[in-house]
């Protein structure tokens, strides 16, 4: 981080702005700060701080669906699973909070924090069902809530994770305070973050790919471009699993084949009740949208 950034001072100011003012007041205040910075010389906020404030203003009318983790990428755990198994999952994924579901991912019954697990494990209760330690309520939100409004709400109510649901009550995704802040300051990495490599391997006439592989990786490896300008404008889909889920409008079953408008086929090789895991991609015979890799 550059020496001329004073994050504690800046974020304390932002916190006070969001805490006591409505959205329009916040925007006017930030605009005033940036304008004053151009006339006050070295005493003003730094160039980097101005960039952060501009990023806040750029969030005007941006919805939380653009910052959320999509349904296909949600890491969740069944309520009947054990505390020990959940601890292993959280350690493997590097998450401090994980949503807990009942009958399906659309039945989120609570959020477990790593502290809840630690308390149970320290008592020797490794085999205790996770449902017995649930103590954190779920915060449900609509996908069209604006990011600045959600950030203010989550900050004032000390909420760290929200579940995004659609008009039918189905889970669309989840969003954390970190996700919202990254829209302002960029990617925030901690000691548990790592660059995950997604497998995309030739198999027969197609490619066997991890559902978490990004569409850009699919294009580079296979030559199949699944990203269109319309897709980007309508929904922020980044992964193969998210693309197939949107195409099928459900979690497809194992062995099911989904075909897009350009004739590309997606056969579900591995799936569980809440997530697609492996997909076999087969190119169309006369692909118009396929580039040679």
The CATH number linked to 269 is 3.30.465.10
What average pLDDT does the segment 90-97 reach?
A: 86
Expressed as residue numbers, the domain containing 166 is 65-185
Counting runs of H as helices and runs of E as strands, what totals does the chain give?
Answer: 10, 12
Q: Which two tokens stand for residue 76?
A: 């969740």
What was the pLDDT predicted at 264?
A: 93
Paired sense of beta strands 97-101 and 77-78, if any: parallel
In this prediction, residue 24 carries a pLDDT of 53
The pLDDT tens digits of the residues spanning 123-133 come to 888 899 999 98
Task: Name the least confident of 211-215, 239-243, 274-278.
Answer: 274-278
Domain boundary among 155, 185, 215: 185
Residue 25 belongs to a domain:
yes
Residue 192 within a domain: no
- The pTM is what? 0.57
Per-residue confidence band for 82, with pLDDT thresholds at 50, 70 and 90: very high
From the list 109, 102, 69, 91, the residue with the least C-alpha distance to 241 is: 69
Which has the higher per-residue pLDDT, 3 or 82?
A: 82
Determine the angle formed by the axes of helices 240-248 and 215-222, rounding to 10 degrees: 100
Average the pLDDT over 103-120 and give the result: 91
Query: What is the tally of structural domains in the chain?
Result: 3
Same domain flag for 91 and 113: yes
pLDDT at residue number 293: 41
Does residue 290 belong to any structural domain of this protein? no
Same domain? For 165 and 180 the reply is yes
Structural domain includes residue 291: no
Residue 46 within any structural domain of the chain:
yes
């Amino acid at each position: 981080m550059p020496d001329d950034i004073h994050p504690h001072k800046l974020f304390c100011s932002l916190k006070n702005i969001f805490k006591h003012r409505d959205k329009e007041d916040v925007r006017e205040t930030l605009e005033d700060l940036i304008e004053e910075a151009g006339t006050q010389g070295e005493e003003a906020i730094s160039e980097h701080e101005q960039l952060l404030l501009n990023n806040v203003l750029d969030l005007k009318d941006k919805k939380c669906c653009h910052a959320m983790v999509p349904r296909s990428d949600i890491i969740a755990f069944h309520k009947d699973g054990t505390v020990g198994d959940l601890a292993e999952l959280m350690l493997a994924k590097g998450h401090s909070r994980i949503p807990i579901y009942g009958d399906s991912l659309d039945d989120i019954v609570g959020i477990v924090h790593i502290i809840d697990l630690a308390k149970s494990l320290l008592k020797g209760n490794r085999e205790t069902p996770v449902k017995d330690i649930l103590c954190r309520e779920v915060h449900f939100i609509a996908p069209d809530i604006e990011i600045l409004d959600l950030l203010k709400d989550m900050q004032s109510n000390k909420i760290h994770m929200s579940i995004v649901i659609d008009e039918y009550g189905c889970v669309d995704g989840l969003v954390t305070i970190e996700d919202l802040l990254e829209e302002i300051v960029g990617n925030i990495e901690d000691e548990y973050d790592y660059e995950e490599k997604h497998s995309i391997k030739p198999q027969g006439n197609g490619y066997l790919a991890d559902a978490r592989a990004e569409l850009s990786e699919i294009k580079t490896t296979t030559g199949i471009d699944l990203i269109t300008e319309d897709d980007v404008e309508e929904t922020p889909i980044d992964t193969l699993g998210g693309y197939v889920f949107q195409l099928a409008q459900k979690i497809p079953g194992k062995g099911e084949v989904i075909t897009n408008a350009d004739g590309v086929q997606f056969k579900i090789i591995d799936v569980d009740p809440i997530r697609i895991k492996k997909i076999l991609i087969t190119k169309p015979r006369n692909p118009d949208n396929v580039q040679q890799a």
